[in-house]
Amino acid sequence: MDFPNALQIFISGANLGAIYTALGLGFFVIYSVTRLVNLAQGEFVMLGGMLTVSFYKMGIPLVPSITLAVIISGLAGAGLYRFIIYPARGYSRLTQLLLTVGFVFAIQGVALLIWGWDFRSLPAFFNTPCIQLWGATIFGQTPWVIGATLVMVIGLFFFFGRTIQGKALRACANEPLGARTMGVNIDRMALYSFIMAAGLGAVVGAMITPLTMTSYSMGWSLTIKGVLAAFVGGINRAEGVILGGVALGMMEAAAAGMVPGGYHNVIAPGILIVVLLLRPHGILAIPGRVE
């Protein structure tokens, strides 16, 4: 393989890795607090993308469009928790998981009614042009995707590591009863985690729309990719999710560049099966803390 091709694969991998990492972080935030895998996470990505396109097409500038999309998606996240998960808080994890699947179909149905079947797109942010680098092409949107993911990662590390609210969120997952005796309202923390994850998902949706386009049905496939990233790396550690996302993106890009036909689509699920067989909690997970 020549250098430009290898570089192109690396750039595509970095782009996909950033997307999968950002997707996985949404799962991480909710799992960290509630121990629930929210299978509706991809729908927040879809909502973020569709809403950003809608607001942008109405003539609202890009940044306010994204902001509005994040706020509305955050409210949808709050609604998912308050009206679906919270009333079922005493139920089994499996029931709660199925409820998030129910929410997936509900939100897809609403999105279909509002936006129809069509795919929608946005231009690269601020019309950033394509860049040619040593024979490889970097799409104008790619630096924005990678940059936004870096900001999210740094922001989450700061939030969870340095702020008392972030520590309280982690404490809820660590020892819920202990957190309550410290004055932490666990239900409120869970609500915050859903709002935060939905907001993160919406940012991802807005970022990837210029690259992948968006439609009412895009959420589910993104959920699968996010789950893969989170579980391969270890859903209970941000470092694990980052590793999982980057590894998945790089491998998928490498497979797409080297494996003929559509076989590269087998790579990601194949990796998940192998990793989960060898490391049931993920590569970097803290053992015993994944349910």
In the complex, the smallest distance separating the C-beta of residue 240 from other proteins, rounded to whole angstroms, is 13
The tokens of 208 are what?
């990837």
In the complex, the smallest distance separating the C-beta of residue 155 from other proteins, rounded to whole angstroms, is 19
Q: Is 256 exposed, middle or buried (0-12, 13-18, 19+ CB in 10 A)?
A: middle
In the complex, the smallest distance separating the C-beta of residue 103 from other proteins, rounded to whole angstroms, is 28
Contact 27, 225 (CB under 8 A): no
Indicate the residue among 262 and 288 with the shorter CB distance to other proteins.
288
Provide the binding-site residues for other proteins, judged by CB under 8 A: 164, 167-168, 170-171, 174-175, 177-185, 286, 289
Indicate the residue among 27 and 115 with the shorter CB distance to other proteins.
27
Nearest in space to 194 (alpha carbons), one of 26, 24, 20: 26
Indicate the residue among 189 and 272 with the shorter CB distance to other proteins.
189
For residue 17, what are the contacts with CB-CB under 8 A and spacing of at least 6?
245, 246, 247, 248, 249, 250
In the complex, the smallest distance separating the C-beta of residue 241 from other proteins, rounded to whole angstroms, is 16
Helix (H, G, I), strand (E, B) or coil at 60: coil
In the complex, the smallest distance separating the C-beta of residue 201 from other proteins, rounded to whole angstroms, is 25
Indicate the residue among 218 and 285 with the shorter CB distance to other proteins.
285
The tokens of 137 are what?
């092409």
Indicate the residue among 151 and 286 with the shorter CB distance to other proteins.
286
For residue 286, what are the contacts with CB-CB under 8 A and spacing of at least 6?
234, 236, 237
Measure the CA–CA gap between 130 and 113, rounded to whole angstroms.
Answer: 35
